[in-house]
Structure formats: C-alpha cells, structure tokens
Structure 1
Amino acid sequence: MLTKITDVPDYVAAFKATGEVDKDDYKNILMPEVERIDKEHGHIHFLYMLETPVKNFSVGAWIEDAWTGLKHYRGWKKIAIVTNEQAVETITDKIGAIIPGETKGFRLSELEVAKKWVASEN
C-alpha cells in the first residue's frame, strides 16, 4: 500500500510503501501526485520511503514504476529513497548516472535528513 507523506513542501512528491504494493497504488496515489507536481513546478522532487521489502511490490507495480520514470524522464530533479535494504540504497546512489537530477539513498533512521535533502533546491 502506498500512502502520501504530507509533511513536505508542496513541490515534493513523497510516499510511504507498506505491506503489498500493486499497480493500483501507483495509478491512484503516486501518479496523480507526480503529474500534479510536474505540471505545476516543471520538475519533480521525489521521496520514497520503503517500509516493506521490494519483494512485496507486484509485477504491475514495477511496470508502473518504470512507466512513471520514463514518462517524466526530464522532470526528475531530486530522488530520495529511504529504506533499510542496502541493495536498494546502493542502486539508488548509482542510478543517478543514467537519469537527470540527483539521487540518493537513505536509511529509515535518516528520514528527516532525506526530507531536508530532497526539498532543497540546490
């Protein structure tokens, strides 16, 4: 399940993943917010807090995730992934080489640091 994180600036799309995550979570929760921010601000600051293992994401969720990334390819300004899965954090740190904008992985204990980083305009 995806839920919106609301204690971030209006130009930050922030979500928390818990339990099972499927394509409907992306279509009904994540995509509308990403679309709104891209339209209103011309770029996207994105924070994704994973309180569930990535194995709990359905195939449909992964397809929607990839589609979202491609559809807004030029809009990504900052992406923060907050997780305790070391492999996800490492991939996040490295993926910045192939997409525009900055990417950074954070531990769950660093959520507040991640919020500040992703919200900064520099």
Structure 2
Amino acid sequence: APDEMGGWSMVLFGGTDARHDPLSDMWLYHPTRGTWTPVRQTGSAPPHGLAAASTAKLRRDTVAVYGGFDSRRFSGTLRLLDLRTFCWRDVAVTDHVPRPRTHAACGIV
C-alpha cells in the first residue's frame, strides 16, 4: 500500500504468537515515519487468523492470499485483500483446486 509520502508501506497480517496461537490482526508500517498503525479489516477475513499462507501482489491495490494454517486446519481458500479499503473477499474456484496447504511459495508470472 502506498503511504502518504508517495513511498511504500508494508502490510502485516496474521502469524502466530509465542504460544503458537493464530493472530488475525492487521498492521500497516509507514517507513517514512517509522511507525505502525492498526488496520480495521472488513469483508471475509480469515476467521481465526492465519499463519504461513502464500501471498502475491496482483495489482497495485490487490494482494492474493492462499492457504495457510489457522491452528485447527490447513486452509485451501483463496482470498483477495483490497489495499485501498482493507476489505477481504473470497474467490470462488470451482475446477482443479489445489489441496489445502501451508508454507508454500507463491509468485506472479
């Protein structure tokens, strides 16, 4: 997500804490200020947090998130995050769906 100075920002989502419990919070890092800001998410965010998911930036304002682990199960869900609104949406995939997974590499080609 671009920051207000025209530079770059970093979005942090999910992961696990020291007890390996999943986290579902989101933060935005502003490098020009050296600060973190909590982000309010809307839409179909992963319900129990997510760790070790694969991510790839699709466009300037969209990140794809696939798979991961929510402390109960491996995920096989593909979600898109709009970086302008921080709204999640599920992507319906109907044919040849990969098995649920975690710790997978992902990139745009």
User: How would you bin the TM-score normalised by the shorter chain?
Assistant: under 0.3
Higher RCO (C-alpha under 8 Å, 6+ residues apart): 1
TM-score, structure 2 as length reference: 0.24
Q: Which has the higher helix share?
A: 1
TM-score, structure 1 as length reference: 0.22
Asked which structure has the greater CA Rg, the reply is 2
Q: Which has the higher strand share?
A: 2
